[in-house]
Amino acid sequence: MPRPTPLPRARRRRRRATSCSTSSASRSPAPIPCRTRRPPPRWRRIWARTAAWGTLEAAAAALEARLREGGYSFHRVIIPAQKPADGVVKLEILQFPLAAVEVTGNQHFSADNIQRSLPGLVTGSSPDVRAVSRDLGLANEHPAKRVSIVLKESTKADALDAEIRVRDVAPVMFFTSLTGNTRDAYNDLNQTTGYTRLTIGYQNSNLFDLDHALTLSYTTSPDHLDSVKQYGAFYWIPLYGYATSLKVYYTRSEVNTGAIGLAGGAASFDVTGKGEFMGARLTYSLPRFGEITQNVSLALDDRYFDNNSALTGGPAFGTPIRTRPLSLRYAARYEQAWGGVAARVEQATNLSGGSYNNDETYSDQGLDQSWNAFRYGLDASYALGAWGLSARLHGQYGNDLLYSGEQFGLGGVASIRGLRDREISGERGYTMTLEAQGPQLAESLRPVLFFDAGSVRRLANDGLGTGDNASSIGVGARWNWERHLDVSADLAYVLNGIASQGDFAGTSAGDTKLNFSLFYRF
- Model confidence pLDDT, tens digit, residues 338-369: 999 999 999 999 999 999 999 999 998 889 89
466-494: pLDDT as tens digits: 889 999 999 999 999 988 999 999 999 99
Question: 82 pLDDT band (50/70/90 cuts)?
Answer: confident
Residue type, 442: A
Looking at residue 281, its pLDDT comes to 98
Report the distance separating Cα 430 and Cα 456, nearest Å.
Answer: 7
Looking at residue 18, its pLDDT comes to 42
* CATH pick for 98-168 out of 3.10.450.50, 3.10.20.310, 3.40.50.10490, 3.40.190.10: 3.10.20.310
Sign of CA dihedral 16, 17, 18, 23: positive
The architecture of the domain spanning 172-521 is Beta Barrel (2.40)
CATH number of 16-95: 3.10.20
Looking at residue 463, its pLDDT comes to 52
Through-space distance between the first and last CA atoms of the chain, rounded to whole angstroms: 43
> For residue 320, which of 332, 333, 304, 336 has the smallest C-alpha distance?
304
Question: 279 pLDDT band (50/70/90 cuts)?
Answer: very high
Question: 13 pLDDT band (50/70/90 cuts)?
Answer: very low
- DSSP line for 201-234: EEEEEEETTTTEEEEEEEEE-TT-TTT-EEEEEE
CB 411 within 8 A of CB 419: yes
Sequence-separated (6 or more) residues with CB below 8 Å from residue 310: 256, 316, 317
Would residue 339 be called left, alpha or beta, if left means φ above 0 and alpha means ψ between -120 and 50 degrees? left
Give the chain's mean pLDDT: 84
177-186: pLDDT as tens digits: 999 999 876 7
Report the distance separating Cα 86 and Cα 79, nearest Å.
Answer: 17
Report the distance separating Cα 106 and Cα 119, nearest Å.
Answer: 17
246-257: pLDDT as tens digits: 999 999 988 755
Q: How is the chain split into domains, by residue range?
A: 16-95, 98-168, 172-521
Range of lowest pLDDT (257-261, 284-288, 465-469, 480-484):
257-261
Question: 390 pLDDT band (50/70/90 cuts)?
Answer: very high
pLDDT: which is higher, 71 or 134: 134
Question: Structure pTM?
Answer: 0.81
Q: What are phi and psi of 363, to 5 degrees?
A: -65, -35
Report the distance separating Cα 406 and Cα 318, nearest Å.
Answer: 17
According to DSSP, residue 123 is labeled B
Report the distance separating Cα 205 and Cα 145, nearest Å.
Answer: 10
> For residue 235, which of 260, 212, 251 has the smallest C-alpha distance?
212
Do 98-168 and 16-95 have the same topology in CATH? yes
Counting Cα atoms < 13 Å in the Cβ hemisphere of 371 gives 27
CB 419 within 8 A of CB 498: yes
> For residue 236, which of 210, 200, 274 has the smallest C-alpha distance?
210
CB 476 within 8 A of CB 447: yes
**What's the rounded mean pLDDT across residues 325-333?**
98
Question: 35 pLDDT band (50/70/90 cuts)?
Answer: very low
CB 67 within 8 A of CB 128: no
Range of lowest pLDDT (33-37, 171-175, 479-483, 491-495):
33-37
422-461: pLDDT as tens digits: 889 999 999 999 999 999 999 999 999 999 999 999 997 6
> For residue 325, which of 274, 267, 281 has the smallest C-alpha distance?
281
pLDDT: which is higher, 218 or 79: 218
Question: 114 pLDDT band (50/70/90 cuts)?
Answer: very high
Question: 310 pLDDT band (50/70/90 cuts)?
Answer: very low
